[in-house]
Amino acid sequence: MKSSRDNLIILTAGGTGGHIYPAETLAVELQQRGCQVMFFTDSRGLDNYHGLLKQLPVQTILSGSVIGKSVFTKVKSLCKVGLGIFQAAFYMLRNRPKAVVGFGGYASFPTAVAALLLRIPLVIHEQNSVMSRTNRILSGFAACTAQSFRNVKNTPSRAKEFLSGMPIRENIIQLHNHPYQTWNNKRPFTIMVLGGSQGAKIFGEVVPQAIALFDDNIQKQFIIYQQCRKGDEAEIEKAYAQLSCSVTISSFFNNMNELYSKTDLIISRSGASSVYEIAAAGVPSILVPLPTAADNHQYYNAKELNDCGGTVLIEQKDFNAALLHSRISEFLQHPEKLQQLSVNAKNCAIIDAPKRLADAILKLK
């Protein structure tokens, strides 16, 4: 069945949380405005989609990565990309969308190229503070390029960029208006540790070591929720076994809004979605960028929040048990510093990103 060009928006993204969550949030906003939404991706990340994305019509498009691969794999991937462009073009010719919105990741590249070839308006969303290689290629031809951060490096001079912010989940945006409850020693001190999609193995080593440096009475005050890579749960539980704190270890938490609302301090990687959720919720944080992230984008994501006084930025080369113990001790002794981090983080947050992005899409002709 053909869809109306004036009513259908195609979203395309890779399979990681940094691409999935903003795509899902925009899909909700578009549906609330009466749009039909389809989702184009590759088969690799289909199991990662939950919520509304799981309910949308989905087209699987062939794609492949060429970055850091062998010559054989590059050739194979390029063939997949070529076939994926034809697949995406075929589906678009049948459905005639008003626009295509790409959220990055190599899985989105064939669909974005097909949109350009068919002269269908293409909107690019760049979630990080350094533009990805894929978006550098596409943004020069896109109808517009939405950016999450205020100073995005490597943006092509001819890109028509605007500041949209990062679309994040509504139940987390709602926390923006809830004041941070300054910690006092009459209640436990709750720490949430987020490693991102890779689990951040270093957190499983350094955080327990830092907690072990506190005496037993202080350890008993800590409640820790730690996200890790699937399969590492037992190893991290063992690291905490001799400590007196309360610990919950999991590869995935599906109640993030609840955890944000009761957390006193987050220790996290600095993927774009994490930084934006932390800022919107106003949770004091220590951000440790992944040093191997492409173009060091996690460092620059964290730096923007750090520059406005909304986080403590520690590079991984400096991240050790003694330093983390010192930082946590400082917060326990001066909880007003946590309060200030919360205020500054919220001031830096952009919480109407879905509206800004949807407005830009629906204005296209």
pLDDT tens profile 285-335: 999 999 999 899 999 999 999 999 999 999 999 999 999 999 999 999 999
Q: Considering the domain boundaries, does residue 270 fall inside one?
A: yes
156 and 60 in one domain? yes
User: How many other β-carbons are positioned within 10 Å of the β-carbon of residue 347?
Assistant: 12
72 and 51 in one domain? yes
Angle, CA of 357, 360 and 365, to the nearest 5°: 145
Helix axes 109-117, 71-95, angle to 10 degrees: 50
Q: Considering the domain boundaries, does residue 73 fall inside one?
A: yes
The pLDDT of residue 327 is 98
| pLDDT per position as a tens digit, 335-357 | 999 999 999 999 999 999 999 99
321 and 197 in one domain? yes
Span 91-99, average pLDDT: 94
108-122, 126-140, 340-354: the lowest-pLDDT one: 126-140
Cβ neighbours of residue 111 closer than 8 Å, sequence gap 6 or more: 10, 12, 40, 61, 84, 88, 100, 102
Q: How many domains does the chain have?
A: 2
187 and 44 in one domain? no
Q: Considering the domain boundaries, does residue 3 fall inside one?
A: no
Q: Considering the domain boundaries, does residue 146 fall inside one?
A: yes
47 and 118 in one domain? yes
CATH, residue 319: 3.40.50.2000
* Contact between 64 and 134 (Cβ < 8 Å): no
Distance, in Å, from the CA atom of 281 to the CA atom of 293, rounded to the nearest integer, reads: 24
127 and 184 in one domain? no
Q: How confident is the model at residue 138 (pLDDT cuts 50, 70, 90)?
A: very high
Span 46-74, average pLDDT: 73
Q: Which residues of 93-117 are buried (b: 16+ CB within 10 A; e: fewer)?
A: eebebbbbbbbbbbbbbbbbbbbbe
The pLDDT of residue 52 is 64
Q: Considering the domain boundaries, does residue 1 fall inside one?
A: no
The pLDDT of residue 107 is 85
Phi-psi region of 51 (alpha: psi -120 to 50; beta: other; left: phi over 0): left
135 and 72 in one domain? yes
257 and 138 in one domain? no
User: What predicted TM-score, i.e. pTM, was given to this entire model?
Assistant: 0.90
310 and 185 in one domain? yes
329 and 289 in one domain? yes
Q: How confident is the model at residue 51 (pLDDT cuts 50, 70, 90)?
A: low
Check residues 195 and 212 and name the one with the higher pLDDT.
Answer: 212
356 and 274 in one domain? no
Q: Considering the domain boundaries, does residue 2 fall inside one?
A: no
Displacement of CA 260 from its chain's centroid (Å): 15
Q: Considering the domain boundaries, does residue 16 fall inside one?
A: yes
The pLDDT of residue 33 is 96
* Contact between 355 and 328 (Cβ < 8 Å): no
DSSP state, residue 62: -
187 and 62 in one domain? no
The pLDDT of residue 303 is 98
Domain enclosing residue 54, as ranges: 8-166+352-362
